[in-house]
Amino acid sequence: MNPYLLHEKMMHATYFAPRGKQRMYNLGHQLAQRHLNAADNIIGFIGAAGAGKSRLIAGMFPGLELTNDDEGVNIRPLPLLDSLDSGFFSSHTYHVDVRFESAFVQLNTLAEAIRQAVKMDKRVIIEHFDLIYDSLGMDADVMVAIGEEVIVTRPTIFGPKPSALAKTVFNSIKYRRMAHSAEDLTNMILENEYSLTDSPIHGDIRHGFLLEFEECPTVPISELEQKVIELINKNIPIDYYDDAHIVLGQGEQYHCTGPRLHVKATGEIQNFRLEKEYIYDPKENVYLLAGRVGEEDLTEY
């Protein structure tokens, strides 16, 4: 079948939102291969700060210079607005962070720059698309919303609207933050108190996380769970240190591949529990330890 027809028939696709830079880059690459085509002019991204929008964009559009990246490097003047002023859109693809730019430029001006770029058959990557949708007067060809899951959709005149996707992902991001913080606490205890020197592979489940081991650990799961709960109950602050580390309380730095994606303190992790046995996966020949947070979720994936 013609791939363009497949795109037209797609309602939406949902993926687990991974934690960590490389895993987010990899997902972005997959999304670009599966869901984009050359005729797409507006790609809208929706999600809270720290959800991973910039890294997903970097994976989907390698080499694209982001105008407001995670290191706080802001490109001025904004290339999209500069092109509007000059009347010459030299680049094929532009990036704009609406939340950041709205502090300096009126939404109507940003919207006009986007409309003119699209008129010239340019592509515009828009972060916080939900904030400019009403001013823009046109929908995205593809919308990508990031919360606990990554939702990819090709909206029609009947929806979904950016506001609906925003509500979904802003409500679900808390589970991803809780799961990631609980995941790091669990891994830290395995390393520090059980001398587990080989770091497990990390995976995702709804409202939780997976740790994958090549050999079945001998660590008692109930004992490990209680140690994590004790750290949670201490309500220890979790702070960003740099792009690869967090700090727990006043303690030492701890390696983390997603340091911006945490709760502010361990006490915000709700209803943490571990599945009470290591699960063997015969296809991958690994042993899995599953951790859960939040309310019980009976949805099967």
Does 201 reside within a domain? yes
Does 215 reside within a domain? yes
Does 298 reside within a domain? no
- Do 150 and 198 share a structural domain? no
- Do 14 and 41 share a structural domain? yes
Over residues 79-124, the pLDDT tens digits come to 898 888 788 888 999 999 999 899 889 999 999 999 999 999 999 9
- What residue numbers bound the domain in which 58 lies? 3-160
- Do 184 and 141 share a structural domain? no
- Do 191 and 103 share a structural domain? no
- Do 229 and 156 share a structural domain? no
The CATH number of the domain holding residue 9 is: 3.40.50
Over residues 21-48, the pLDDT tens digits come to 888 999 999 999 999 999 999 999 999 9
**Nearby residues of 242 by Cβ (< 8 Å), 6 or more positions away:** 259
In this prediction the pTM is 0.89
- Nearest Cα neighbor of 232 from 263, 199, 194 is 263
Does 166 reside within a domain? no
pLDDT higher than 50, residue 1:
no
Over residues 136-183, the pLDDT tens digits come to 999 999 999 999 999 999 998 888 999 999 999 999 999 999 999 999
Residue that wins the pLDDT comparison between 276 and 297: 276
Does 297 reside within a domain? no
pLDDT higher than 90, residue 292:
yes
Two structure tokens written together for 138: 């046109």
Residue 192: alpha-carbon gap to chain centroid: 29
Helical segments of the chain, H only:
3-9, 21-35, 53-60, 79-86, 98-101, 107-119, 133-136, 162-194, 221-233
CB 17 within 8 A of CB 150: yes
Domain termination residue (choose one: 139, 160, 181): 160
> How many domains does the chain contain in total?
2
CB 176 within 8 A of CB 76: no
- Do 144 and 46 share a structural domain? yes
Does 68 reside within a domain? yes
Report which residue type is found at 258: G
